Amino acid sequence: MAHRIALIPGDGIGLEVTPEGVRCLEALARRPGLDFEFTEFPYSCEYYAKHGVMMPEGAIDELSGFDKILLGAVGYPGVPDHVSLWGLLIPLRREFQQCVNLRPVRLLRGLTSPLRNRGPEDIDFIVVRENNEGEYSEIGGRLYDGLPEGMAIQSTVITRKGSERVLDFAFRLAQSRPARHLSSATKSNGIKHTMPFWDECVADVGRRYPDVTWDQFHIDILAANFVTHPDWFDVVVGSNLFGDILSDLGPAIAGGIGVAPSANINPTGELPSMFEPVHGSAPDIAGKGIANPIAMLWTVVMMLEDLSEQQAADDLMGAIEAVTGEGRVLTGDLGGSASTREFTDAVLAHLNG
């Protein structure tokens, strides 16, 4: 049966890189036993300009019938960030209970890290971010606004259920990797209630995975260690805020935003997971055909893995890395002069060759 994929190319370079991901999937679908059925949705800031909403009523229902969602990028100048965030990204992540955000951090062959003397053997880990609760809650408010007594209070919500499902995912992921090592981000020396609770959940879940070695670091030193000892890390798990910070720092040491993939996973598989490059719509380069498609193609690799199409995933990743390893066809952000399409053409040549 064909995998049913909902495509939301979105805005800016999302419209340019999503078709490149589809081209790779179509090339893979020439193999017997692998097939995809694509349905495209125009939800975007352009849609918002016309209809006053990022997506119509009923969109969530309709999307819930798909196996996976592949998203380009949403956001464009003139439309405030909170519109695209609260009008599309957050409702999708929440409604589909995509409580795990995954960001692989691996330096691809041929690419250079801004960290001196660090190569692909040193930078290969994956950041697992809690995606549904934590510090990003709507609970809180302001008091005595405009007065000298003014103050703001923001509550963090960490539940055992929410923590255990993301931790369970992270430990299982660690178990599947050769190093079988997990590091948890905490700050229980300064944050007195929620973080010790998180630590307890880590210890409890950790006991179920005796074959995984785990450690924990305060977020400040953990961030520093990404820079000084990236080779220490294998699977790194953090709350919503800590995971957010680490999942931007990670890609920054591994070739930048043009190559960084991500996945929003519903671990039960009952509702669709959503796959999107880390980058945004990049209005400064949109429409020129020069965006780096690696982030999208690697995102497609993650989607294939989640569909249990491991062979196709490995082949596509292998083709991407063959091209970066040769170093002849690269986009501008990586010091080359190839177009978005030319890079994908090179990947397809490897894939088909």
Residue 199: exposed, middle, or buried by beta-carbon count in 10 A (0-12, 13-18, 19+)? middle
**Toward ligand ATP, which CB reaches closer, 57 or 284?**
284
Rounded to whole angstroms, the Cα distance separating 252 from 262 reads: 14
> Of the ranges 144-152, 205-213, 266-274, 283-291, which one interacts with ligand ATP (CB under 6 A)?
283-291
Q: Identify whether the C-beta of residue 55 lies closer than 8 Å to the C-beta of residue 63.
A: no
Contacting residue, 104, 134, 206, 258, with ligand ATP by CB under 6 A? 258
Binding status of residue 73 toward ligand ATP by CB under 6 A: yes
317 to 336, contacts with Mg ion by CB under 5 A?
A: none
Q: In what order do the strands lie in the sheet with 213-218?
A: 36-40, 3-10, 68-73, 273-275, 263-265, 100-106, 124-130, 235-238, 181-186, 213-218
Select the binding partner of residue 72 from Mg ion, ligand ATP, none (C-beta < 5 to 8 A, by kind). none
Select the binding partner of residue 16 from Mg ion, ligand ATP, none (C-beta < 5 to 8 A, by kind). none
**Closest approach of ligand ATP to the CB of residue 335, in Å:** 12
**The pairing of beta strand 3-10 with beta strand 68-73:** parallel
Select the binding partner of residue 333 from ligand ATP, Mg ion, none (C-beta < 5 to 8 A, by kind). ligand ATP
Residues near 41 by Cβ (< 8 Å), separated by ≥ 6?
6, 7, 8, 55, 59, 63
For 128-161, letters b (16+ CB in 10 Å) and e give bbbbbbbbbeeeeeeeeeeeeeeeeeeebebeee
Pair of tokens at residue 32: 């017997």
**Closest approach of ligand ATP to the CB of residue 320, in Å:** 13
**Closest approach of Mg ion to the CB of residue 11, in Å:** 12
Rounded to whole angstroms, the Cα distance separating 346 from 353 reads: 10
Residues 252-281: x where in contact with Mg ion by CB under 5 A, - otherwise, as a string: ----------------------------x-
> Of the ranges 156-164, 201-209, 279-287, 311-319, which one interacts with ligand ATP (CB under 6 A)?
279-287
Binding status of residue 280 toward ligand ATP by CB under 6 A: yes
Residues near 202 by Cβ (< 8 Å), separated by ≥ 6?
163, 167, 184, 186, 214, 216, 237
Contacting residue, 8, 323, 333, 351, with ligand ATP by CB under 6 A? 333
Residues 218-257: x where in contact with ligand ATP by CB under 6 A, - otherwise, as a string: ---------------------------------------x
Q: Identify whether the C-beta of residue 253 lies closer than 8 Å to the C-beta of residue 123.
A: yes
Residues 4-33: x where in contact with ligand ATP by CB under 6 A, - otherwise, as a string: ---------x--------------------
Rounded to 5 degrees, φ, ψ at 96 are -95, 15
**Closest approach of Mg ion to the CB of residue 280, in Å:** 4
**Closest approach of Mg ion to the CB of residue 50, in Å:** 24
> Of the ranges 45-53, 107-115, 287-295, 341-349, which one interacts with ligand ATP (CB under 6 A)?
287-295
Q: Identify whether the C-beta of residue 235 lies closer than 8 Å to the C-beta of residue 126.
A: yes
**Closest approach of Mg ion to the CB of residue 81, in Å:** 8
Rounded to whole angstroms, the Cα distance separating 258 from 9 reads: 16
Residues near 321 by Cβ (< 8 Å), separated by ≥ 6?
108, 109, 110
Q: Identify whether the C-beta of residue 274 lies closer than 8 Å to the C-beta of residue 264.
A: yes
Residues 279-298: x where in contact with Mg ion by CB under 5 A, - otherwise, as a string: -x------------------
Pair of tokens at residue 201: 């959940």
Contacting residues toward Mg ion, per CB under 5 A: 280
Contacting residues toward ligand ATP, per CB under 6 A: 13, 73, 75, 81, 257-258, 279-282, 284-285, 291-292, 295, 333
